[in-house]
Structure 1
Amino acid sequence: MNKGKFIVIDGIDGSGKATQADLLIERLRREGRTAAKADFPQYGHKSAGLVENYLNGAYGAAAEVSPYVASFFYMLDRYDASFGLRRELEQGNIVVSNRYVSANMGHQGGKFGTREARQRYFEWLDRYEYGVFDIPRPDLTIVLHVPPEVAQTLVDQKAARGYTSGASRDAHEADLNHLARASETYREMCALFPDFKLVECAPDGRMFSIEAVRELVWEQVTKII
C-alpha cells in the first residue's frame, strides 16, 4: 500500500486555516479520497495543557517566554498526536492538519531578531521534532497570508473558545507586533523551504472570498496527490 499524503494548512491567527482545512477535506472526499483531519494544538487534551497555560499568560507575557521553551510545550502535544497521524498515513489516507510544526516556526521564529538566529532555531526544531520525537513530516505546507491588521479583526469575529478563559484573544492574537513578526517569518519560510507554499488571501488588503482561497489551496494540493 502506498503511504498517504500529509498536508498542513498554516498561517497567522485569523487567516482562515480551519475553514480551508475543512473545505479541503470535503473536496478530497468528493474526489473519492479518504481524508482525515488533525488540529493543533489539541485544546482540551492533557497534552496541550502547557500550551493553554502559555497562551493564557501563566508563564508571563508570551513575548518574554523563550521560543525554545515555548516550542517544547507544542512539541509534546504533537508527539501525543503522532501515533494517530502515522496510522492514517500508513493506511494510505490523506491527512489535513490545521497547523503543525510550521506554526512554531512562524510564531516562535518571529521572536528572533536576525535571520541567522531564526535559521539556527529552525534547524534545532527540525532536529527535535522529526529526529528525537520522530513525528511525521508533511509533504506540503500551505501558508495562508493575511495582513496582521485584517487577521486580528477576523479573530474578533470568532466564537468564544474554551482555552482563552473568556477572553476574545489569546496571547498571540492580542499582540499585533507578534502577528506582524510571525507574518514576515512565514513569508521567509516559504522562500526557504520548497515544500512550503504561500497563498495570498488579501493581496490588496481586502480578503478574497472563502471560495477563491479554496481554489488557490486546491491548486497547490493537486500538485502532490
Structure 2
Amino acid sequence: MFNKIANFLLNFQYSVKQSSTMCLHRSVTRRSLFAPNIVSFGFVLMVKQFLVESATSTSSNARVKLAGKIGPTQITSMCKKVPLRGALIVLEGCDRSGKTTQCKNLVKALEANGRPAKYINFPDRTTECGGLINSFLTNKKDFNDETIHLLFTLNRWEAKNAMEILLRDGVTLIVDRYSYSGVAFSAAKGLDLEWCKAPEAGLLKPDLVLLLTMTASAISKRGGFGDERYEVPEFQQRVMKMYDQLKDDSYWTEIDADKSFGALHDELLTHCNHAIDNIVNEKMDKLW
C-alpha cells in the first residue's frame, strides 16, 4: 500500500508545482520552470522515505520521529530557496568610494553561494551612446548640461529590456550607478531636480539601493581621484546633498564606506542576501 501511495505522489509532483500555496511561484522562464519541480520532487522523496520507513517501523515512537522529517518547517525551508525573480540591487555614492570593486566582488560571492548574479555598470561605455558619454567624461568632447543628462538617461533605457529579462530569469543584478546618479550629478550642476527625474520615469525600480558615503578628505585620498571631469571634492559634496533629497528609506540603506575592504564587503553582502530572500512580488515596480 505504501509503495502505491508513493508512486501516486511521484506522478502528482507535476500538479504540485502549479500550486501557489507551496512556493507562491509562477513559472515564466526557463530557469523558474525547473525550480518548482525540484522543490516538489524533493518533497515527494521525503514523503516516500517516510512511508517506506514507516512500513518497516514497529515502534510508534519511531513513526513520530519519522513524521518530524516532513513537517511544515522543512517544506517552508525548501520553498524559500526558490526566489520569485532576481533582485535589482544598486550601489550609489561619490566617485572613488569603491563601488565598482565591491559590486564585482558581491557578484562573485553571490554566485559562490549558488545565487545567479550579474554585474552591470552605468554608464555602459560599450554602446554608441556610451561612447559619446565616455568622450565627455574624459574631456574629449563637450556637451551642454541638458544634452549630457539625456545621453546618460538614454544609456539606461538601452539596457532596460535586457535587465528585465535577466531578473525574470532569476538573476540578481548588482548595478554600479543607476538613475539616481544621473539625477544627482545633473541637479548638482544646477538643473531642476524634477526635470532631471522626468526622463528616468518608467525605468525599473530597484529592490535595494546601497548608498556609500565618505568624507571629502577620504575621497580625495583614493587612487585615481581627479582623473575624470566630475572628480572635484566640492562638486562631490553637492552630489551627496542631492542624494539626500532622492533617498527613500523604504528601500535605501546608507553605509559608511570609509572602512576596510573586507568589512565593507561583508556588510554589503548581508544587505544583498536579505534583499534577495525578501522578494515578495514577481512584478517589477517602475521609477517615479
TM-score (norm 1): 0.77
Which one of 220, 240, 256 corresponds to residue 183 of structure 1? 240
CA contact (8 A) 1:187 1:198 kept: no
Match of 1:108, as an amino acid?
S
Which one of 226, 229, 250 corresponds to residue 171 of structure 1?
Answer: 229
Is 2:184 the counterpart of 1:128? no
**1:194 offset after TM fit, Å?**
2.2
Contact kept, 8 Å, 1:7 with 1:96, in 2: the verdict is yes
Residue aligning to 1:59? 142
Match of 1:139 in 2: 207
Shift of 1:198: 0.7
**CA distance in structure 1 between the partners assigned to 2:137 and 2:217 by the alignment:** 20
The aligned counterpart of 1:24 is: 106
The equivalent of 1:165 in structure 2 is none
**One-letter amino acid of the structure 2 residue matched with residue 189 of structure 1:** L
Alignment correspondent of 1:154: 222
- Bigger relative contact order, structure 1 or 2, given CA contacts below 8 A and separation 6+? 1
Structure-1 residue corresponding to 2:159? 81
Deviation at 1:78, TM superposition (A): 1.1
> What secondary structure does 1:138 align onto?
coil
8 Å CA contact 2:150, 2:199 repeated in 1 = no
Tell me the distance in 2 between the aligned counterparts of 1:186 and 1:109: 10
Counterpart of 2:201 in 1: which secondary structure? helix
Unaligned segments of structure 2, at least 5 residues: 1-26, 28-83, 277-288
- Per the normalisation by structure 2, the TM-score is 0.61
8 Å CA contact 1:155, 1:169 repeated in 2: no
**Secondary structure in structure 2 of the residue aligned to 1:221:** helix
Query: Which stretches of structure 1, 4 residues or longer, exceed 6 Å deviation after superposition?
Result: none
Identical-pair percentage: 21
In structure 1, give the amino acid aligned to 2:113: E
- Which residue of structure 2 aligns with residue 93 of structure 1? 171
The structure number with the bigger radius of gyration is 2
- Alignment gaps of 5+ in structure 1: 158-167, 203-207
Q: What is the one-letter code of the residue matched to 2:204?
A: P
